[in-house]
Amino acid sequence: MTSQLEFAARSAFAQVLTAWRTRRGLSKKQLAASMGYHPSYISHVESLRHHPTFEFACRAEAVLATGSEIIEAYTGCRQAAGGQDPLGHPGYEPSQMLPATIVIEDELATLTYTDGWYACRVERLVRNVGDRPVTTCPVRIDVDRFPDQPGVSRRLYQESPLRLADLDFAAAAGEEPMDVRVSRTSDAYLKLALVFGNARARFPLYPGDQTRVAYSYRVPASQYGQWFQREIRFPTRALTMSLSLPASLGAEVGAEILSYAGIKSFSPTVAEGDGDTVLHTVRMRELLLTSQVRLRWRFALPTPLPAPRAA
């Protein structure tokens, strides 16, 4: 039988969970998908029909980024239960791949335009908050040059499809190179799985550990659209996006965030870069899941054709 103390602690946990879910603009279904739970489980915890578990609290904290309020509320439940982990739903089994298993503590994404080529480099400080080793890290590359003209875009990429072999793609976890697998491909985008391993060794990211994952690629301007986008598919604590463009081309740059609340436009900060370049930067913290951050630009002067590849 549940004591009054336990009931009060569970009520406090449910209130914290509901308040932060609402604050982050997430429905029960959206939160459940991000945590790897069935939507009914979220509903049962909020309505006090199920006890929260430690795993549930950790994944909720990873997604909602409450500053440990969720964990503190769970600790209250544990103490009220006499120090025991309250039982969760007996039929629940965690899936083998959970979005909330990975938390991106910090991401720096830089796009540089030089002589007809766009070069992208992304660095992520990644932490495993799950209960099993992580063996891959997903990456998506989008290059649509005509996002508002699907017919024109389709013809372009049917003639010149995006291929991994043409991107000079490289990835590493710390100092170790990572193998790369193509998980899905279309003419204008690639979905990749960066493997925590290579021909020499396997180095999974174990629960509680963190590492810095970096990857880079380059695409000719004839294939790359004038937009640079990051999609928030994992809990992300901080994101910095930088766009380095030649000052001589007189670029106009704008930024926008697309989320459940709609589209918010704003201006990036502007600073002098290396040589004759201008650096346009946006810095954000605690981004909502499934939101998109996008930089768009246009040049006042025509851009040169890409230099030929070395033989």
CATH code (residue 271): 2.60.40
C-alpha pair distances (Å), 43 with each of 87, 89, 225: 16, 12, 42
Domain boundary among 80, 112, 131: 80
Judge if 125 and 74 occupy the same domain.
no
Judge if 10 and 146 occupy the same domain.
no
pLDDT of amino acid 84 = 57
Q: Across the strands, what pairs with 120?
A: 111, 217
pTM: 0.73
85 inside domain: no
234 inside domain: yes
Judge if 164 and 110 occupy the same domain.
yes
The per-residue b/e assignment along 30-66, b for 16 or more CB within 10 angstroms, e otherwise, is bbbbbbbbeeebbebbbeeebbbbbbbbbbbbbbbbb
Judge if 39 and 166 occupy the same domain.
no
247 inside domain: yes
Judge if 20 and 47 occupy the same domain.
yes
Using DSSP bridges, classify how beta strands 102-114 and 236-246 pair: parallel, antiparallel or unpaired.
parallel
185 inside domain: yes
Judge if 44 and 75 occupy the same domain.
yes
Per-residue pLDDT of the chain (311 residues; tens, 9 = 90+): 467 888 899 999 999 999 999 988 888 888 887 777 778 889 999 999 888 888 788 888 877 878 788 988 998 888 887 765 544 433 333 443 344 478 899 999 999 999 899 999 999 999 887 767 889 999 999 888 888 888 888 898 888 888 999 999 999 999 999 999 998 878 788 999 999 999 999 999 988 899 999 999 999 999 998 999 998 888 788 999 999 999 989 899 999 998 766 788 999 999 988 888 999 999 998 777 778 999 999 988 666 555 544 44
pLDDT of amino acid 311 = 41
Count the domains in the chain. 2
228 inside domain: yes
pLDDT of amino acid 131 = 67
Can you give the CATH number for the domain in which 55 is found?
Answer: 1.10.260.40
User: H helices of the chain, where?
Assistant: 4-23, 28-35, 39-46, 54-64, 69-80, 150-159
Judge if 127 and 195 occupy the same domain.
yes
User: Do residues 51 and 92 make contact, with C-beta atoms less than 8 angstroms apart?
Assistant: no
271 inside domain: yes
pLDDT of amino acid 45 = 92
Fill in the DSSP letter of residue 47: T
Residue range of the domain that includes 121: 99-298
Using alpha carbons, select from 144, 167, 140 the residue that is nearest to residue 234. 140
